[in-house]
Amino acid sequence: MVSGTRFPKHLTTGRSSKNKLQESEIEAYGEEVVEKYRKYVNPAMVAILKFAGLALPEEDASGVFIRDVAGNEFLDCVGGYGAFSLGHLHPKVVEAVKKQLEKEALKSHYFMSAELADLCELMASVLPGDLQYSFICNSGTEAVEGALKAARIHTGRTGFIGTVNGFHGKTFGGLSVSGREIYKEAFHPLLPGCSLVPFGDADALAAAITPDTAAFIVEVIQGEGGVNVPDDDYFPKVREITAKNGTMLIIDEVRTGFGRTGAMFACQHYDIVPDVITMAKALGGGVMPVGAFSANADVWNSLFGKNPYLHSTTFGGNPLACAAAIAAIKTTIEEGLVERSRVLGQKLLSGLKEIQSRRGDMIVDVRGKGLLAGVEFALDDIAALAITGCARRNVLVAYSLNNPKVIRIEPPLIIEESLLDRALEAIDDTVAETAEMLAMV
């Protein structure tokens, strides 16, 4: 796929790749980048990307499309694992960041930051319940680190409970409470006193909590775990059990926050307010890396009351990040993207279920909420073939780190309905092709 495989013009943004390479130069340029990856970045990754038919480097992106250096245009249904809820280079976010850049990029930390104050105020206005204070950092896993520290200091306890197949990032703290051993085993000992319970099982949580459990950390819908949606009564029970035991509830909305599931925050589907919430990805509007954790005044007092520098960061909450996040939240509200995600999500889910009804031999389950959908295949290998088959059809769907049988479809919330149809068509064709291939073996 070297010379510009494109969607029909009416379905694209009409932008062409900025790369000025001649067709004859593209392959050599691709090989040059591959060589640098082999030598300086990550050799094993090259093999995987080549297998997926993604042998050329990414060149640019706008809206829901990503282009490689040859001008091949891909419909982005991975959405930066949730980071591109507003698509790529949303003009309102770009504009806000440019404007801020003309003024100041990073703060001295000697003075207060009006941009940070504005962002935290805006966040308090959209966060559930009494979650009023926010700490802004640079990534999801940093947000999780901060949340875990807040729980320890607030409760005076040390232990944490996470969920089987849960995912909270790859720092030592994030890994300690994440739920797939393959990513943890090489790095033991991790944080002491951490255990896992099955996701969706409130009785298991009740049985696992000890007097030393500082917090239960959980995603509302497990993303990397394979888009696992719990029963409706799970989170109300979790809230009750944690409160009764003096254990804090940390809800990780790094992936699900800011409209992804058809609510501003996924925990709002279940009408619960956590003690701490973590966010990242979509918070940066797809333009800046931004993470955050938020809690109520009591928790904040425990964390910062005696020493306002007990938890800090050099780059977190910088003015560019704040400008992006403010624009991202405002745009999400102004453009009605939470509702859009809910409505389009229903269409996506019913389209996928329709495919499943014809392909029950290949697809075991289809699930999701809003524009976060998962398709569970009968085997890991079928899911891998489905990802590469979709990529060959210029539609990017995601691999699930903690459940390789599941592919995820999480497009930008701004996606047009006709393009969602296009994605469904690509998945349908890919599943049919994969079934034929398997029948031949």
Positions in the binding site for ligand PLP (CB under 6 A): 81, 139-141, 144, 167-169, 219, 223-224, 252, 254-255, 280
Pairing mode of beta strands 372-377, 363-369: antiparallel
State the minimum distance, in angstroms, from the CB of residue 317 to ligand PLP.
15
CB of 264 to ligand PLP, least distance (A): 16
- Beta strand ranges found along 103-238 (DSSP E): 133-137, 159-163, 194-197, 213-219
Rounded to 5 degrees, what are φ and ψ at 403? -160, 80
- What's the one-letter identity of residue 325? A
Nearest approach, Cβ of residue 167 and ligand PLP (Å): 5
Nearer to ligand PLP, 84 or 167 (CB): 167
Cα distances (Å, whole numbers) of residue 8 to 73, 75, 385, 388, 419: 10, 12, 25, 21, 11
Q: How far is the CB of 144 from ligand PLP (least distance, A)?
A: 6
As a whole number of angstroms, the distance between CA 134 and CA 354 comes to: 42
What is the Cα–Cα distance from 264 to 437, expressed in whole angstroms?
41
Toward ligand PLP, which CB reaches closer, 320 or 382? 320
Residue 180 or 255 having the CB closest to ligand PLP: 255
Whole-angstrom distance, CA of residue 408 vs CA of residue 49 = 17
Residue closer to ligand PLP (CB basis): 139 or 302:
139
C-alpha dist (Å) from residue 358 to 353, 367, 422, 435: 9, 16, 18, 12
Q: Could you tell me the smallest distance in angstroms from the CB atom of residue 282 to ligand PLP?
A: 11
How far apart CA 389 and CA 54 sit, in angstroms, is: 11
**CB nearer ligand PLP, residue 331 or residue 400:** 400
Q: Nearest distance from residue 386's CB to ligand PLP, in Å? A: 20
Nearest Cα to Cα of residue 407 among 421, 389, 433, 420:
389
Q: Which of 164, 334, 345 is nearest to 266 (CA)?
A: 345
Q: How far is the CB of 232 from ligand PLP (least distance, A)?
A: 21
Closest approach of ligand PLP to the CB of residue 223, in Å = 5
Q: Parallel, antiparallel, or unpaired: how do β-strands 276-279 and 213-219 relate? A: unpaired
Closer by beta carbon to ligand PLP, 221 or else 384? 221
Q: Give the type of residue at 228.
A: N
Nearer to ligand PLP, 255 or 367 (CB): 255
Token pair of 365 as six digits = 């389950």
Query: Which tokens in the block code for residue 200?
Result: 């969706």
d(CA 230, CA 240): 16
Give the CB-nearest residue to ligand PLP: 140
For ligand PLP, which is the closer residue by CB, 151 or 254? 254
Radius of gyration of the chain (CA): 22
Identify which of residues 405 and 422 has a Cβ nearer to ligand PLP in the complex: 405
Least distance CB 140 / ligand PLP (angstroms): 2
Q: Which is nearer to ligand PLP, 332 or 402 (CB)?
A: 402
Closest distance of CB 81 from ligand PLP, Å = 5
CA atoms within 13 A on the CB side of 6: 15
The secondary structure of residue 39, as a DSSP letter, is I
Helices within 67-113 (DSSP H only):
91-103
